[in-house]
Chain A
Amino acid sequence: MQSRTLNISTSPHITKGVSTADIMRNVVYAMLPVVAFSFYAFGLNALLVIATTTVSCVVTEHVLCKWSGKESTVSDWSAVITGILLGLTLPPIFPLWMAMIGGIIAIALGKFIFGGLGYNVFNPALVGRAVLQAAFPVAITTWTPSFSADRFTHVSDALMPWIFVEPFYDAVSGATPLSAFKFDGITTDAKELAFGLISGSAGETCGALIILGGIYLIARNMMNWRIPVAVLGSAFILSGILYLIDSTAYPSPTFTLFAGGLMLGAVFMATDMVASPLTPAGVWVYGIIIGVLVVVIRIWGGLPEGVMYAILLANAISPHIDTMIRPRVYGTLKTKRKS
Chain B
Amino acid sequence: MRFLGFDQKTFKHGVHPPEHKDQTNSLPIRQFPFAPVIILPMVQHIGAPSKIIVHEGQEVQRGQVLAEAVGYVSVPIHSPVSGTVRKISKMPSISGKMVPGIYIEPFPYSTQEVMKGKSIKLTFATPDEILQGIQDAGIVGLGGAAFPTHVKLKVPEGKTCEVLMLNGIECEPYLTTDHRVMLEQADDIYMGIRYLLKVTGAKRAIIGIEANKQDAADHLNSHKPNDIPVTIEVVPVKYPQGSEKMLITSILGKEVPSGGLPIDVNVVAVNIATAAEIGRLLPHGRGIQERVVTITGPGVKKKGNYLIPIGTPLRYALDQVGAADNISEVYMGGPMMGTAVSNLDISIVKGTSGIVVYTENETKKPEKIYPCIKCGACLDACPLFLNPSKLGILAKFEAYEEMADNYNLMDCFECGSCSYVCPSNIPLVQYFRLSKSIVRKRQAAKKATEHAE
Contact = CB atoms under 8 A, between A and B. Distances in A.
B338 A118 contact: no
20 contacts: A1-B315, A6-B330, A7-B328, A7-B340, A8-B341, A10-B340, A11-B338, A11-B340, A12-B420, A13-B340, A13-B358, A14-B18, A20-B373, A22-B423, A276-B374, A278-B376, A331-B259, A331-B260, A332-B258, A332-B408
A165 B376 CA distance: 45
Interface in B339-387: 339-344, 358, 363-364, 367-368, 370-376, 379, 383-387
Contact of B370 (A21, A224, A330): A21
A47 to B, nearest CB: 29
Given A8-B342, A15-B419, A279-B387, A23 B375 contact: yes
A9 to B, nearest CB: 6
B375 A273 contact: yes
Interface in B271-315: 315
B140 interface: no
Interface in A1-40: 1, 3-16, 18-23
A113 to B, nearest CB: 15
A326 B387 contact: yes
Task: From A18, A118, A331, name the one whose CB has the most chain B CB atoms within 10 angstroms.
Answer: A331
A136 interface: no
Contacts of B407: 336
B148 interface: no
Contact of B329 (A7, A12, A117, A118): A7
A18 B423 contact: yes
Interface stretch (B23-31, B67-75, B223-231, B424-432): B424-432
Contacts of A19: 367-368, 370, 423-425
B376 A224 contact: yes
B371 A329 contact: no
Given A274-B374, A329-B385, A16 B331 contact: no
B132 to A, nearest CB: 32
A21 B367 CA distance: 12
Contacts of B338: 11, 13
Interface in A206-227: 224
A224 B341 CA distance: 39
Interface of B: 15, 17-18, 173, 245, 249, 255-260, 315, 318-319, 323, 327-331, 333, 335-344, 358, 363-364, 367-368, 370-376, 379, 383-387, 389-390, 406-408, 411, 416, 419-425, 427, 429-430, 433
Nearest to B249: A330
B36 to A, nearest CB: 14
Contact of A329 (B318, B323, B363, B384): B384
A274 B373 contact: yes
A118 B318 contact: no
Nearest to B427: A10
A114 B302 CA distance: 54
Contacts of B373: 20, 23, 117-118, 273-274
A20 B424 contact: yes
A11 B432 CA distance: 12
Given A12-B337, A278-B389, A331 B255 contact: yes
A327 interface: yes
A1 B371 contact: no
A116 B371 contact: yes
Given A12-B337, A23-B373, A278-B387, 17 more contacts: A1-B319, A8-B342, A9-B340, A12-B336, A13-B364, A14-B18, A15-B425, A117-B370, A117-B373, A118-B371, A224-B376, A274-B373, A327-B379, A331-B245, A331-B256, A331-B384, A332-B408
Contacts of B386: 329
A30 to B, nearest CB: 15
A7 B360 CA distance: 9
B411 to A, nearest CB: 6
A330 B258 CA distance: 7
Contact of B390 (A6, A14, A18, A322): A322
B195 to A, nearest CB: 29
Contacts of B427: 10
Contacts of B375: 20, 23, 273
Contacts of B372: 118
B344 A3 contact: yes
Interface in A193-215: none
Contacts of B173: 14
Interface string A90-118: 00000000000000000000000001111
B379 A329 contact: no
Given A7-B340, A19-B367, A20-B373, A13 B329 contact: yes
B335 A11 contact: yes
A330 B383 contact: yes
A61 B330 CA distance: 42
Contact of A331 (B329, B331, B411): B411
Contact of A16 (B15, B260, B318, B358): B15
A76 B337 contact: no
